Amino acid sequence: MIGILAGKKKHKKLSVMDQYIARANIDHYLSLLNTTDLSPQNRGTIGKLLVAEEDKLSHDLEQLEFAEARAAKCRDRVDHFRRLRDSFVEGSTDRARADGVLANFEATHTLVEQFCHHFRGKVNSRRL
């Protein structure tokens, strides 16, 4: 019995302050990921920090709406930059630069969508 219990993590509900801090950190990490001057190493580190903060919220079902709102913002941002990139001439320097920016936004969007998918899975499994 001890072996079975040792493998399961128990997560207590976050305090209002901890929820606020996690949300603020998520917004801060997303804003950092939306810049173009990050090295790949820093982008990876910030991505890991983002996932860790999102994971804190994933144990509280009330936070799903927050996560979904951030995913929608990321989707809108990707769509905006895709249209912007498409406005540049194929093969131009501006188009190449826009491709890099778009790739960064798409990577951030993927992180947030993966978290939401994971979070939705938790919500659906708890309803059963």
Distance from C-alpha of 119 to C-alpha of 54, rounded to nearest angstrom: 9
Domain that holds residue 45: 15-127
> Within a domain: residue 23?
yes
> Within a domain: residue 4?
no
**Which tens digit of pLDDT belongs to each residue from 10-60?**
556 778 898 899 999 999 999 998 887 888 899 889 989 998 888 888 777
> Within a domain: residue 38?
yes
DSSP string, 68-89: HHHHHHHHHHHHHHHHHHHTSP
In the chain, the number of structural domains is: 1
> Within a domain: residue 29?
yes
**Which tens digit of pLDDT belongs to each residue from 72-123?**
999 999 999 999 999 999 999 999 999 988 998 899 899 889 888 888 887 7
